[in-house]
């Protein structure tokens, strides 16, 4: 297919999405100038670039996030070509992408093909797709264009769609210099940015659908700002890669910034750096791109720190959605910047409004901006709300595949409640064998006017117990990490609880309540119903998430126990990873008790725990007090606020902790999982690296591997860990010898 398209010499820049690299084909000489190749999993590397033809090889796997994202790289008048099996064969097609949905020991036979059936149905019903019967086996292949979707023969099928050509193209080609006429929306954006002159506190929110020129418009605005005002501009985003278009239109070349006054920082680094500066030293402008992907607490802290900010976000699209952003953050912004403004970019810059490709992508993958409800709840309805009118339902994948209305409501609810909801989640709901989808509906009205509205949803992953002793040993030794089973493997790897691998567990992947109905007990009601439903099937229910204090409090309030808090802060959310468990059986209670003991001791001795922000420390102390009250007296430790300033030289290591140390020495556990144990080892005077850790602990100083490497003139973290493992092996041998 690729050879045929190139030979037509119609397209100047072609994107070939496939696991097959054309460069390995000797007959493909001369392709390199016109063809860019990438595998679907690396789709983000070309976002912001432009192509006039995209060829997506479905035989290499249909990756939903890549499929939707790469459609946005197609310029006006270009063609999107999908090469795959006959449409009627899609439900039974062995998609190579299925491996991402399977948890050990599931196989492709466990996937029923609901997603491909769903997508093929949308293509069949669409009037925009042209379907061709194509033989890839003949060198002189001819394409037969058919208006009917019905295709005969056994040849693969090419499906293509062509974007509408606007009256004039506003964006340059990828090789042209980034000078062009800004769209009307972008000109308004530039005007609003320039009104945010230094000397006044102000905030601007920029929202846009994908492909509306948000990032490029900000680049143009910053260009004019730099010409008009002095001072520095700080820029942040969840990933620097998302700022490709911003930098392209900021500078006269593709360099990340030719102006030394523009600096990029990760979200948490930007905040920490700003909090160390005086008001006069702060940047004159801070730009937060894809702000909806950053936690509200971190955004609020930024708004409290910097005098002028632009918060930009995508309202809907393949990379996630900011639909819930307004409901969550705008009230915060109003309290800090009473005169803040918002601008929405509505018109696409690469294609016309109502473009057939964009319409198909948005409708099929439920990326549109349609409201979750048929009508908004008025004040009277909100005041009359009652939990007695709620009902929880389990929806099998085959039911959702055939019920577009219900599937759309569930996806839109997940979208508005969670920024990171993407097209991959649609496939997970329809195809992942171990995932169950629950909804909560609210009965409204009376009599004939009564109807049910979806107000909450939950996705649950069922983690079946491991039964193969060889696999259990391999996981325990750190030699295998099979797909899925996140909680079970976390219990074994991070908390040193081997029994967790053989325990049936349910993991809450996602729980979402519509923002208009939050804080009314719906989420707690749903968790209670899930416990009742899952109790006969599992020993534990748990979740792993970014540990914002309010979110942790929600889980604690509903009977869950915090058993792990990460020691490294996430650069985007500004939070620490958290893990909670709730026992459903005596076996689950035993595992929870063991996990609580390990968490208590780690939080007591790991000095990273002392560096948490105040709110995180408070919620951690609350969780520790709650779990401490349920532990046997011999396992209890004093509260963190009453801990001694120094360690006793005779601190006792339990057998489980010794086993964890041995696993680290053999390379089966990372340093972060046993850092607190290494600082407690007695008799380390003959082991320089271990003594270094001990001395740091006595001074109440947290340990950084890079600092240890520098102290011992090592090249980096890897050599530092190797040295610690070597010394620990020697210490373990010596400690086992009779004195």
Last residue of a domain, one of 316, 345, 374: 345
Which structure tokens are listed for 56?
């997506």
- Give yes or no for residue 739 having a pLDDT over 70: no
- The confidence score (pLDDT) of residue 634 equals 47
414-437: burial string, b at 16+ Cβ within 10 Å, e else: bbbbbbebbbbbbbbbbbbbbbbb
Which among 454, 463, 458 has a CA at the least distance from the CA of 418?
458
Q: Are residues 618 and 677 in the same domain?
A: no
Q: Which two tokens stand for residue 647?
A: 């360690």
What residue has token string 């929306």? 185
Instruction: Please give the mean pLDDT across all residues of the chain.
Output: 83
Judge contact between 628 and 590, C-beta under 8 A.
no
Predicted local distance difference test score (pLDDT) of residue 457 = 96
Residue 317, Cβ density class (10 Å: 0-12 exposed, 13-18 middle, ≥19 buried): buried
Q: CA 349, CA 329: separation in Å to the nearest integer? A: 28
SS3 648: coil
CB 336 within 8 A of CB 303: yes
Give the position of tokens 């109440």: 700
For residues 438 and 574, state if they share a domain: yes
> Cα–Cα distance between 271 and 273 in angstroms, integer?
5
User: Are both 690 and 732 inside the same structural domain?
Assistant: yes
Q: What is the DSSP letter of 317?
A: S
Give Cα separations from 519 to 133, 150, 284, 437 (angstroms): 55, 51, 37, 22
Q: What φ, ψ does residue 127 adopt, rounded to 5°?
A: -95, 0
Asked if residue 151 has pLDDT above 80, the reply is no
Q: Is the same domain home to 270 and 394?
A: no
229-238, 324-333, 452-461, range with the lowest pLDDT: 324-333
Q: Which helix (H) or strand (E) holds 288?
A: strand 285-288
Phi/psi at 356 (5° precision): -65, -35
- Nearest-angstrom CA–CA distance, 558 and 560: 6
C-beta separation of 117 from 448 below 8 A: no
Q: Domain of 319? A: 184-345
Q: With pLDDT > 90 as the criterion, what percentage of the chain qualifies? A: 48
The whole-number pLDDT of residue 28 equals 54
Of 139, 167, 162, 107, residue with least CA distance to 27: 139
Q: Which residue has the higher pLDDT, 318 or 345?
A: 345
CATH of the domain at 32: 3.40.50
10 Å Cβ neighbour count for 197? 14
Where residue 77 falls among pLDDT bands split at 50, 70, 90? confident
- Residue where a domain terminates, one of 612, 642, 672: 642
Domain assignment present for residue 171? The answer is no
Strand partners, 113: none
Of 24 and 153, the structure prediction assigns the larger pLDDT to 24
Q: Positive or negative CA dihedral for 283, 285, 290, 296?
A: positive
More confident residue, 152 or 549: 549
Q: Is the pLDDT of residue 523 over 60?
A: yes
List Cα–Cα distances, 162 to 47, 129, 253, in angstroms: 19, 8, 30
pLDDT of 177 over the 50 cut: no
Rounded to an integer, what distance in angstroms lies between the CA atom of residue 241 and that of residue 46? Answer: 9
- The verdict on residue 151 lying in a domain is yes
Least reliable range by pLDDT among 214-218, 461-465, 733-737: 733-737
* Interatomic CA distance for residues 84 and 99, integer angstroms: 18
pLDDT at 616: 80
Q: What does the alpha-carbon distance between residue 103 and residue 386 come to, in Å, rounded to a whole number?
A: 39
pLDDT in tens, 530-545: 999 999 999 999 999 9
CATH number, domain at 258?
3.40.50.300
Residues 576, 638 contacting (CB under 8 angstroms):
no
**How many angstroms separate the CA atoms of 225 and 252, rounded?**
15
- Residues 254-309 have pLDDT tens digits of 444 567 889 999 998 999 999 999 999 999 999 999 888 888 888 999 999 999 99
Identify which of 389-393, 451-455, 679-683 has the greatest average pLDDT: 389-393
Looking at the fold, whether 401 and 315 belong to one and the same domain comes out as: no
445 and 537 in a common domain? yes
pLDDT confidence of 100, banded at 50, 70, 90? very high
Distance CA 248, CA 179 (A): 10
Q: How far apart are CA 444 and CA 381, in angstroms?
A: 9
Contact between residue 396 and residue 430 where contact means Cβ atoms under 8 Å apart: no
Task: Decide which of 317, 345, 373 is a domain's last residue.
Answer: 345
Residue 360 domain-assigned? no
- Cα–Cα distance measured from residue 299 to residue 335, given in angstroms and rounded to the nearest whole number: 13
Q: 581 and 436 in one domain? A: yes
Q: Report helix, strand or coil for 52.
A: strand
Question: Does residue 9 register a pLDDT over 80?
Answer: no
Query: Do 436 and 585 sit in the same domain of this protein?
Result: yes
With respect to residue 327, please indicate whether it lies within any of the assigned structural domains.
yes
Give the CATH number of the domain where residue 411 resides: 3.40.630.30
Please state which of the ranges 208-217, 486-495, 555-564, 634-643 shows the lowest mean pLDDT. Answer: 634-643
Count of domains forming the chain: 4
Q: Find tokens 């000489």 and name the residue.
A: 29
How would residue 167 be classed by pLDDT, with cut points 50, 70 and 90? very low
Q: Is the peptide bond before 224 cis (omega within 30 degrees of 0)?
A: no
How remote is the C-alpha of 423 from its chain's centroid? 12
* 457, part of any domain: yes
Nearest to 34 by CA among 8, 14, 18, 57: 14
Domain identity same for 156 and 196 = no
Per residue in 379-414, pLDDT (tens digit) is 666 666 789 989 999 999 999 999 999 999 999 888
Enter the pTM of the model. 0.85
Whether the predicted pLDDT of 156 surpasses 80: no
205 shares a domain with 138: no
Q: How far apart are CA 69 and CA 633, in angstroms?
A: 56
Q: Which residue do the tokens 């680049």 mark?
A: 219
Question: 403 and 534: one domain?
Answer: yes
User: Which pLDDT value is given to residue 539?
Assistant: 98
Structural domain contains residue 124: yes
| Mean pLDDT value across residues 203-225 | 91
The model's confidence at residue 570, banded by pLDDT at 50, 70 and 90, is: confident
d(CA 665, CA 725): 5
Joined together, the tokens standing for residue 28 give: 């493909």
Out of 123-137, 387-401, 414-428, 459-473, least confident range: 123-137
Residue 560 DSSP class:
-
Q: What is the dihedral of CA 28, 30, 33, 38, to 10 degrees?
A: 10
β partners of residue 15: 36, 54
Lowest mean pLDDT among 92-106, 154-168, 419-433: 154-168
User: Within a domain: residue 169?
Assistant: no
pLDDT (average), residues 594-618:
79
- The verdict on residue 356 lying in a domain is no
Same structural domain for residues 675 and 591? no
CB atoms within 10 A of CB 404: 15
């Amino acid at each position: 297919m690729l050879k045929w398209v190139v030979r037509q010499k119609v397209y100047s820049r072609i994107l070939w999405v496939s696991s097959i690299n054309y460069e390995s084909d000797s007959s493909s000489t001369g392709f390199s100038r016109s063809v860019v190749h990438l595998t679907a999993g690396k789709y983000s590397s070309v976002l912001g670039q432009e192509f006039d033809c995209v060829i997506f090889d479905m035989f290499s796997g249909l990756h939903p996030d890549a499929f939707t994202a790469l459609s946005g790289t197609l310029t006006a008048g270009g063609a999107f070509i999908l090469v795959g099996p006959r449409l009627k064969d899609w439900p039974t097609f062995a998609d190579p992408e299925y491996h991402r949905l399977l948890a050990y020991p599931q196989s492709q036979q466990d996937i029923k093909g609901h997603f491909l059936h769903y997508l093929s149905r949308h293509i069949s019903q669409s009037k925009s797709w042209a379907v061709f019967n194509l033989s890839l086996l003949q060198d002189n292949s001819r394409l037969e264009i058919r208006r009917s979707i019905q295709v005969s023969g056994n040849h693969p099928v090419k499906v293509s769609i062509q974007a509408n050509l606007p009256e004039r193209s506003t964006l340059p080609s990828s090789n042209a210099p980034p000078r062009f006429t800004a769209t009307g929306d972008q000109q308004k954006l530039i005007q609003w940015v320039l009104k945010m002159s230094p000397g006044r506190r102000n905030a601007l929110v920029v929202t846009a659908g994908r492909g509306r020129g948000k990032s490029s418009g900000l680049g143009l605005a910053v260009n004019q700002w730099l010409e008009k005002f002095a001072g520095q501009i700080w820029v942040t985003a969840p990933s620097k890669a998302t700022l490709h278009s911003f930098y392209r239109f900021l500078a006269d070349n593709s360099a990340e910034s030719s102006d030394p006054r523009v600096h990029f920082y990760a979200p948490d680094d930007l905040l920490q750096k700003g909090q160390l500066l005086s008001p006069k030293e702060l940047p004159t402008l801070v730009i937060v791109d894809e702000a909806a992907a950053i936690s509200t607490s971190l955004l609020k802290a930024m708004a409290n720190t910097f005098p002028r900010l632009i918060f930009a976000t995508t309202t809907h699209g393949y990379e996630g959605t900011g639909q819930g952003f307004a409901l969550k953050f705008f009230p915060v912004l109003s309290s800090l910047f009473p005169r803040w403004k918002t601008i929405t970019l509505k018109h696409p810059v690469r294609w016309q409004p109502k473009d057939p490709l964009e319409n198909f992508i948005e409708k099929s993958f439920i990326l549109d901006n349609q409201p979750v409800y048929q009508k908004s709840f008025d004040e009277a309805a909100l005041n009359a709300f009652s939990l007695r009118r709620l009902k929880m339902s389990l929806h099998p994948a085959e039911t959702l595949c055939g019920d577009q209305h219900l599937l759309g409501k569930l996806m839109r609810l997940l979208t508005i409640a969670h920024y990171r909801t993407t097209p991959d989640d649609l496939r997970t709901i329809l195809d992942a064998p171990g995932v169950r989808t629950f909804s909560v509906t609210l009965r409204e009205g009376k009599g004939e006017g009564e109807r049910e509205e979806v107000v909450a949803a939950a996705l649950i992953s069922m983690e079946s117990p491991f039964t193969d002793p060889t696999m259990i040993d391999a996981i325990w030794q750190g030699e295998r990490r099979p797909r899925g089973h996140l909680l079970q493997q976390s219990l074994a790897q991070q908390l040193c609880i081997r029994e967790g691998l053989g325990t049936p567990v349910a993991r809450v992947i996602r729980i979402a309540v519509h923002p208009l109905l939050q804080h009314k007990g719906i989420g707690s009601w749903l968790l209670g119903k899930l416990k009742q439903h899952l109790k006969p099937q599992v020993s534990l229910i748990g979740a792993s998430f970014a540990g914002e204090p309010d979110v942790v409090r929600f889980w604690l309030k509903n009977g869950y126990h915090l058993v792990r808090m990460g020691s490294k802060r996430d650069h985007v959310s500004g939070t620490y990873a958290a893990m909670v468990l709730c026992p459903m059986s005596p076996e689950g209670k035993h595992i929870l008790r063991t996990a609580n003991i390990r968490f208590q001791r780690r939080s007591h001795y790991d000095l990273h725990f002392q560096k948490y922000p105040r709110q995180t420390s408070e919620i951690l102390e609350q969780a520790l007090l709650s779990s401490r009250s349920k532990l046997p007296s011999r396992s209890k430790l004093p509260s963190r606020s009453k801990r001694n300033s120094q360690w006793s030289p005779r601190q006792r290591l339990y057998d489980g902790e010794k086993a964890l140390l041995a696993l680290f020495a053999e390379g089966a556990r990372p340093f972060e999982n046993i850092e607190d144990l290494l600082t407690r080892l007695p008799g380390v005077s003959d082991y320089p690296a271990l003594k270094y850790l001990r001395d740091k602990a006595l001074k109440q100083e947290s340990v950084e591997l890079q600092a240890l490497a520098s102290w011992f003139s090592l090249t980096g973290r890897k050599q530092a860990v190797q040295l610690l493992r070597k010394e620990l092996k020697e210490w373990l041998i010596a400690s086992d010898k009779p004195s």
